[in-house]
Chains A and B, each alone.
Chain A
Amino acid sequence: MSEEQHIGIPGYLAVFAFLFIATIVTYVVALQDLDGMFFPGTNTLVALAIAFVKMTAVVLFFMHVRWQSRLIWLAVVSGFFWMAIMFAYTMQDYLTRSVIGF
């Protein structure tokens, strides 16, 4: 079990400041034509990368997983791992089909 107050008020405020700035960055970046600058899909990849980092910050610090036992880590990681399996197996089907409409 984790001990005491974790990162304290300054720590919580720092995480909050990071989330706040990242939200603004998400919005500003979405208005830039990164798809044209790099390759199609860059805009989405950048948006998802920022969301993933934000999620990690919330899980580690607000949800206190950083201070939890290995068992909790396993539960957290396996949750996302199984979702990744669901995405992967669904898309390996749909992305390898020819043109279909629904």
Chain B
Amino acid sequence: MAQHDNHDDHSHPPGLQHQFDDMGQQMDSVTIGMWTFLAQEIMFFGGLFTAYLVFRSRYPMAFAAGSNILDAFWGWLNTLVLIVSSLTMALSVYYAQKGNRNLQVIMIVLTMVFGSVFLGVKAIEYTDKYTHGHIPVDGWNMVVPEGEHGEDHSESATLTLPFETRVEAAEAGKDPHPNPRGEFQISDKEVELVTLAQEEGFLTETEKVGYFNNRGEFDRDKFTDKVQIFFWIYFVMTGLHALHMIVGLGIMLWLLYKAWKFTFSAEYYSPVEISGLYWHFVDIVWIFLFPLLYLLGRHFLAGGH
């Protein structure tokens, strides 16, 4: 504000739109506008969380089994990455308010770097789901022909890349799962979990109807269907979240351009502040997604139940 003291009342601060009386009113208006948008976003993700709530309350053990398929380390790492990016975002707002263009640019670049790392980890995870048959659409998973894993792959080991990835998948999966039609499938480990839960008497009546056939025998196909519901929710929720991250990176790119051209100052920084609100909101969504998707029933395995 100091640099405008020598002007009269008719001079406009840079960045003040003509429909606002002063910078304070403009800042209030854009903030309430953004929060109204975020309230809508809360409902947007809220619908998905509601679907999660309904299905998890129906089939808690299938959700625990599905959650144990996910690699909690990647989810945990991504949580940390997003928290760091939130810090750098908050600092870029801070430096915009200070009028420090260089540090502001650095913080925006760091935010973009951490955002990209998040998406990279997500890509690793999605690839892993693809090679292990955990994408909930039949035919969308990697095709692993029957009998092509195990000992007989040695003579054709000099062949091309598609074969190599198949071998890697078979080795990484420990027990090679033939998946000739690229279907969604679960491993024996998840089946073990649910039979264990039944012996311990953890299953609800709804779950018994959902996982067992009319003669009271465990039905692997019926159980797989319920785990598939978990993976539908996993992919839709993390996918929508990743889409928000990509949009956020686009906003950051625009912000970087503006900051590079010395647009923001102590008087005018609302675009940085508002973009920050969006970025932090996406972070908050992940703060909930991490425990709700990755950490279900972990203590069954860790506690040696």
- Could you tell me which A residues sit within 8 Å of B by CB distance? 1, 4-6, 8-9, 12-13, 15-16, 19-20, 23, 26-27, 30-36, 40, 43-44, 47-48, 50-51, 54-55, 58-59, 61-64, 68-69, 71-72, 75-76, 78-80, 82-83, 86-87, 90-91, 94-95, 99-102
Contact = CB atoms under 8 A, between A and B. Distances in A.
Contact of A26 (B38, B43, B290): B290
A86 B47 CA distance: 8
Nearest to B295: A30
A64 B273 contact: yes
A33 B299 contact: yes
Given A69-B28, A87-B46, 5 more contacts: A15-B87, A16-B86, A31-B298, A58-B280, A59-B280
B271 interface: no
11 contacts: A30-B298, A31-B299, A34-B299, A43-B299, A47-B295, A64-B273, A71-B28, A75-B35, A76-B35, A90-B54, A99-B205
Given A50-B291, A75-B36, A83 B299 contact: no
Contacts of A62: 86-87, 89-90, 276, 280
B277 interface: yes
Contacts of A99: 205-206, 209
B39 interface: yes
B213 to A, nearest CB: 12
A101 B38 CA distance: 35
A82 B39 contact: yes
Contacts of A50: 291
A71 B27 CA distance: 13
Interface string B201-222: 0100110011000000000000
A31 B50 CA distance: 25
B83 A20 contact: yes
Given A16-B83, A59-B284, A87-B53, A101 B210 contact: yes
Contact of B284 (A5, A23, A58): A58
B42 A79 contact: yes
A58 B299 contact: no
B16 interface: no
A48 B299 contact: no
B42 A80 contact: yes
A30 to B, nearest CB: 4
Contact of B299 (A6, A26, A35, A76): A35
Contacts of A59: 280, 284
Contacts of A79: 35, 38-39, 42-43
B287 A54 contact: yes
Contact of B94 (A12, A71, A76): A12
